[in-house]
Amino acid sequence: AQSVAQPEDQVNVAEGNPLTVKCTYSVSGNPYLFWYVQYPNRGLQFLLKYITGDNLVKGSYGFEAEFNKSQTSFHLKKPSALVSDSALYFCAVRDKVATAGNQFYFGTGTSLTVIP
């Protein structure tokens, strides 16, 4: 069965420091991977996706993510955190064998707090 795990419910980082939000996945075959961000009382916003090719994917707001097939991971990173990055982050996966539509599987979310 397809699944996504975000092992940390909460991540705290000081402003200006690098941040990492972790995600591991389990799918049959190669995955399509996504990161979304959710600000309070808002819908999810797309940050970036990995489909194929370069393992390092760059996205919106200076975020990037590294696909690691051997570790089945897709960690979200940013070199220098901003207070405005404080939000809830979701990792999602969709497998390539979309025989039953395009079902996405979301992680449970990681709450990121950037401390001034």
Partner 1 sequence: DSGVTQTPKHLITATGQRVTLRCSPRSGDLSVYWYQQSLDQGLQFLIQYYNGEERAKGNILERFSAQQFPDLHSELNLSSLELGDSALYFCASSPSGGQVHEQYFGPGTRLTVT
Rank residues 21 and 81 by Cβ distance to partner 1 and give the closer one.
Answer: 21
Residue ranges in contact with partner 1 by CB under 8 A: 32, 34, 36, 42-46, 49, 51, 90, 94, 100-109
CA distance 113 to 72: 25
Please, what is the minimum distance in Å from the beta carbon of residue 28 to partner 1?
A: 16
CA–CA separation, 72 vs 35, rounded Å? 15
Identify the three-state secondary structure at position 86. coil
Specify the amino acid at residue 112: L
Rg (C-alpha) for the chain, rounded Å, is 14
Supply the minimum distance, in Å, between the C-beta of residue 111 and partner 1. 12
Nearer to partner 1, 71 or 103 (CB): 103
Find the shortest distance in angstroms from Cβ 62 to partner 1.
18
- Amino acid letter at 49? K
Would you say 14 or 46 has its CB closer to partner 1?
A: 46
- The residue (of 63 and 90) whose beta carbon lies closer to partner 1 is 90
Give the C-alpha separation, 65 to 89, whole Å: 13
